[in-house]
């Protein structure tokens, strides 16, 4: 999730610095930990010696007042005494148990209960929302039911007058101007500082406005935009879960890499450890482990994806294995699941070599802790990766069971937990290289199909007529949607062509290989747009022939030279994907834009989705591998390499359509559907971000 909680002290510090309201009181805040020296703290904050104080933990704990975790109206000695019995103490909040390690001390603000109000701002898909209730405090109750709500358009200008009208009807007239001015300034910084959630309860309104209690989340993907304002903003773990140095190490690796490397320690004493490729796969493996009764033994959650290098996967694997083989041993031994779906573009052999290095290095530890290893993976060069794993299994000295795409992705979880038998000989797919022979009729057989695969009779890979019932027609009547323009023709046909934004030669060659296997008459890629070089041409292969595809420095020139091309596949980085997509939306010929980048700030994505909807343009993504229409068109790396295209029968249309959040899981669906039906008709991975695809609510 890109929305991450921050400490109360950090949130208040941001508001003190940037909320431009003369009515906001400047209340200081002192942070206390077990390393705090009181002499230094009072020197830095002399007001501690002269004012009445409020003390409370700052560890993302809700309802602190009702839990007795707030001490009010005490002097410094009283604060010290209260802290002495709580700092470092282990407490239970709901189902979570943790130590109190971080406290804040603030000046006590004398006020009446009638001075307390409630304010909350949060993001929805197409609007921002301000909730306001004229009564606040610990007994505010169900604010969703009681509070007034102001829905704000993404580009709406918010004024004090609008705030008064929509929110402050029950506030006394002498306080309305002050509150309206503050809420207007607060909302402006909510936008500018990329908050996703901001709750103040209570907000005290007397001669000035005082923020007494704050809960806040920010969009962590906006760090590159807000680094100057945010500074070194910390994202603490939820209460009850300790922050481990290994998590910080992997987070640092992730920040320095174009790949994705994630690790969260759930239970360091757990028996079941995972090393999963792909964000979607990591969720499915964790869910399956919990469904089969392993929730209390699940030790970690994480994933590696986005084509990490051999060295990066080595570092990741070594970190997981080191955590797994320290501390107490388990009487039944431990389980390591090295799982994943069918990769679209990650080189499985390369990543497995990194994992193999780590397994060899910690061989003795694995033996000592009685570790059993279960492996399942597919994707580019996966046969070589599995071969290396099987060779290692014969010499590693611990049980290792290795499976490929012929085994269901989560089957190894059942085997590991004893609910499913482990086959003596893993099933193997029959393969042949006859598809390499141009024009060979056995290409279909190589993919597991017949030499004359069945065609759909009820629909076609070509564009249907305007009266096709599947596109809005029903007995001569149509249903019009006011805000979402309905496409007049399919997004992709056998004549569809696209631009590629970015120098993505590997993805382009994969698309051309797919086109050729589908027997398209012309390539689907007409040109690439790359602003960082002059106009030139790049060499690619169309079957056995060499062809040249132009690269344009200017998007405008590309559009003029190819006026019938209506698809843009945007491979720009997260920093430039927004601007390049906005530029693309200026050209009316574009009907579909696929945004590949992961980590675009949510506010930027919401604006893109809104603008695209107004222009009748379909957005696929962000954070997507794309989509595929077998026999017609595929986006970028979707569907993987040519061997997987053939194995999953993606060179011709089947009867099953799907929508997926995950790129890896879309390829897994291609495999499952091809094994159990006549194949995929169309599939799209809409993206893993909270806001994605403007035609999918």
Distance between CA atoms of 326 and 645, rounded to whole angstroms? 43
Query: Among positive and negative, which fits the CA dihedral 107, 108, 114, 118?
Result: positive
462 pLDDT higher than 70: no
Task: Using CB atoms within 10 Å of the CB of residue 212, give its burial: 0 to 12 exposed, 13 to 18 middle, 19+ buried.
Answer: buried
pLDDT level of residue 430 (50, 70, 90 thresholds):
low
Angle, helices 279-291/663-676, rounded to nearest 10 degrees: 70
CA distance 336 to 320: 10
Alpha-carbon distance of 255 to 265, in angstroms, equals 18
pLDDT recorded at residue 478:
37
Largest Cα span, the chain? 90
In Å, how far are 244, 532, 627 from 551, measured between CA atoms?
Answer: 47, 11, 23
Contact partners, residue 301, CB within 8 Å, separation at least 6: 263, 264, 266, 274, 282, 286
Q: What is the DSSP letter of 666?
A: H
Query: Token digits for 669?
Result: 């669906």
CA distance 297 to 267: 7
pLDDT in tens, 40-76: 999 999 999 999 999 999 999 988 988 899 999 999 9
CATH architecture of the domain with range 28-107: 2-Layer Sandwich (3.30)
CA distance 37 to 58: 18
What's the CATH fold of domain 245-416?
Rossmann fold (3.40.50)
310-324 vs 348-361: helix crossing angle, rounded to 10 = 40
The CATH architecture annotation of domain 113-230 reads 2-Layer Sandwich (3.30)
Q: Which pLDDT score, from 0 to 100, does residue 140 have? A: 84
What tokens appear for 357 in the block? Answer: 């290095």
pLDDT at 259: 85
For residue 484, pLDDT beyond 60 = no
> Over the stretch 591-648, which tens digit does the pLDDT of each residue have?
999 999 988 999 999 999 999 999 999 999 999 999 999 999 999 999 988 889 999 9
* Enclosing H/E stretch for 415: helix 411-416
| Closest C-alpha among 691, 676, 662 to residue 287 | 662
The answer to whether residue 385 scores a pLDDT higher than 70 is yes
Same fold, 113-230 and 489-685: no
State residue 526's pLDDT score: 98
For residue 142, what are the CA distances in angstroms to 94, 113, 131, 280? 19, 18, 12, 34
Compute how many other C-beta atoms are within 10 angstroms of the C-beta atom of residue 239.
19
Burial grade of 620 (CB within 10 A; 0-12, 13-18, 19 or more): buried
Instruction: Match 């309206």 to its residue by tokens.
Output: 180
How far, in Å, are 335, 346, 351, 391 from residue 384 at the CA level?
Answer: 24, 13, 11, 11
Mean pLDDT of 542-571: 97
The pLDDT score that the predictor gives to residue 196 is 97
pLDDT at 425 over 90: no
3-state secondary structure of 615: helix
Euclidean distance between CA atoms 148 and 170, whole angstroms: 10
Q: Beta strand 30-32 with 103-107: parallel, antiparallel or unpaired?
A: antiparallel
pLDDT in tens, 510-533: 999 999 999 999 999 999 999 999
Structure tokens at 243: 């922050």
| pTM, full prediction | 0.85
Closest CA to 10 of 60, 79, 73, 47: 60
Confidence label for 242 from pLDDT (cuts 50, 70 and 90): confident
The pLDDT score that the predictor gives to residue 477 is: 37
User: Average pLDDT for residues 554-574, to the nearest whole number?
Assistant: 97
Domain 489-685 CATH class label: alpha beta
Tokens 């935009």 -> residue:
225
So what's the pLDDT on residue 1? 54
Dihedral sign, Cα of residue 183, residue 14, residue 689, residue 624: positive
Mean per-residue pLDDT for 521-546? 96
Confidence of residue 483 (pLDDT cuts 50, 70, 90): very low
**pLDDT-above-70 percentage for the chain:** 90
Does the structure show a pLDDT above 70 at 487? no
Question: Where do the structural domains in the chain lie, given as residue ranges?
Answer: 28-107, 113-230, 245-416, 489-685
Q: What is the mean pLDDT of residues 421-444?
A: 57
Q: Is the peptide bond before 243 cis (omega within 30 degrees of 0)?
A: no
pLDDT confidence of residue 472? 37
Strands, E assignment, 553-654:
567-570, 592-595, 618-620, 626-629, 633-634
CA separation (Å) from 605 to 45, 145, 687? Answer: 42, 30, 12
pLDDT at 355 over 90: yes
Residue identified by tokens 């103490």 is 89
Flag whether pLDDT at 403 surpasses 80: yes
Q: What's the pLDDT score for residue 445?
A: 38
Average pLDDT over residues 182-186: 97
| Least reliable range by pLDDT among 19-28, 195-204, 562-571 | 19-28
pLDDT band for position 474 (50/70/90)?
A: very low
Most confident of 241-245, 269-273, 343-347: 269-273
Measured in degrees and rounded to the nearest 5, phi and psi for residue 416 equal -65, -35
Number of CB atoms found within 10 A of residue 301's CB: 17
Cβ proximity of 84 and 74 under 8 Å: no
- pLDDT, residue 30, reads 96
């Amino acid at each position: 999730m890109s929305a991450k909680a921050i400490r109360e002290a950090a949130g208040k510090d941001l508001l003190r610095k940037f909320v431009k309201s003369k009515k906001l009181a400047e209340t200081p805040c002192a942070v206390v930990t077990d390393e705090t020296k009181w002499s230094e703290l009072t020197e830095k904050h002399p007001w501690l010696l002269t004012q009445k104080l409020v003390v409370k933990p700052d560890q993302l704990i809700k309802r602190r007042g009702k839990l007795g975790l707030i001490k009010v109206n005490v002097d410094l000695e009283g604060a010290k005494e209260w802290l002495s019995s709580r700092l470092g103490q282990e407490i239970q909040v709901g189902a979570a148990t943790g130590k109190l390690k971080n406290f804040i001390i603030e000046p006590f603000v004398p006020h009446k209960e009638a001075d307390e109000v409630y304010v909350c701002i949060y993001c929805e898909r197409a609007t921002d929302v301000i909730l306001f209730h004229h009564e606040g405090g610990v007994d505010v109750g169900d604010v969703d039911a009681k509070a007034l709500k102001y829905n704000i358009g993404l580009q709406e200008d918010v004024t004090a007058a609008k705030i008064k009208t929509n929110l402050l009807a029950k506030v006394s007239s002498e306080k309305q101007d002050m509150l309206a001015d503050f809420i207007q300034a607060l909302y402006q910084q909510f936008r500018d500082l990329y908050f996703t959630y901001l709750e103040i309860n209570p907000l005290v309104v007397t001669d000035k406005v005082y923020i007494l209690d704050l809960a806040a989340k920010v969009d962590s993907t906006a760090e590159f935009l807000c680094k100057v304002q945010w500074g070194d903003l910390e994202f603490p773990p939820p209460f009850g879960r300790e922050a481990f140095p290994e998590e910080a190490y992997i987070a640092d690796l992730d920040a320095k890499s174009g790949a994705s490397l994630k690790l969260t320690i759930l239970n360091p004493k757990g028996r079941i450890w995972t090393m999963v490729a792909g964000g979607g796969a990591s969720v499915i493996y964790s869910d399956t482990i919990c469904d089969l009764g392993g929730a209390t033994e699940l030790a970690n959650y994480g994933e590696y994806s986005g084509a990490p290098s051999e060295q990066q996967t080595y570092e990741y694997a070594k970190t997981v294995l080191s955590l797994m083989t320290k501390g107490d041993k388990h009487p039944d031994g431990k389980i390591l699941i090295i799982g994943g779906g069918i990769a679209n573009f990650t080189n499985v052999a390369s990543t497995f070599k990194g994992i193999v290095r780590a397994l060899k290095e910690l061989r003795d530890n694995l033996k000592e802790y009685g570790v059993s290893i279960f492996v399942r993976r597919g994707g580019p060069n996966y046969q070589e990766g599995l071969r290396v794993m099987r060779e290692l299994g014969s010499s590693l000295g611990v049980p290792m069971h290795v499976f490929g795409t012929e085994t269901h992705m989560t089957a190894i979880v059942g085997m590991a937990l004893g609910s499913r038998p482990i086959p003596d000989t893993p099933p193997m797919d029959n393969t042949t290289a006859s598809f390499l022979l141009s024009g060979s009729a056995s290409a279909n057989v190589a993919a597991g199909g017949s030499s004359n695969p069945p065609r759909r009779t009820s629909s076609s890979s070509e564009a249907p007529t305007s009266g096709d019932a599947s596109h809005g027609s029903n007995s001569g009547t149509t249903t019009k949607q006011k805000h979402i323009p309905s496409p007049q023709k399919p997004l992709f046909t056998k004549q569809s062509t696209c631009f590629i934004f970015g120098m993505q030669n590997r993805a382009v060659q994969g698309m051309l290989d797919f086109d050729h296997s589908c027997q398209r008459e012309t390539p689907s890629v007409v040109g690439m747009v790359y602003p960082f070089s002059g106009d030139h041409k790049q060499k690619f292969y169309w079957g056995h022939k060499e062809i040249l595809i132009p690269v344009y420095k200017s998007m405008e020139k590309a559009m003029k030279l190819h006026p019938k091309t209506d698809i843009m596949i945007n491979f720009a980085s997260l920093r430039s994907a927004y601007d390049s997509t906005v530029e693309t939306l200026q050209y009316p010929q574009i009907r579909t834009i696929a945004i590949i980048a992961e980590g675009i700030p949510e506010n930027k994505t919401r604006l893109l989705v809104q603008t695209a909807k107004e222009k009748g343009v379909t957005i696929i993504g962000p954070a997507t591998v794309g989509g595929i229409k077998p026999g017609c068109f595929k986006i970028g790396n979707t569907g993987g390499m040519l061997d997987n295209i053939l194995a999953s029968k993606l060179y011709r249309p089947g009867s099953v359509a799907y929508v997926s959040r995950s790129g890896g899981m879309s390829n897994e669906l291609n495999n499952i559907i091809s094994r159990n039906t006549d194949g995929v008709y169309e599939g799209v991975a809409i993206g893993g971000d909270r806001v994605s695809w403007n035609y999918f609510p």
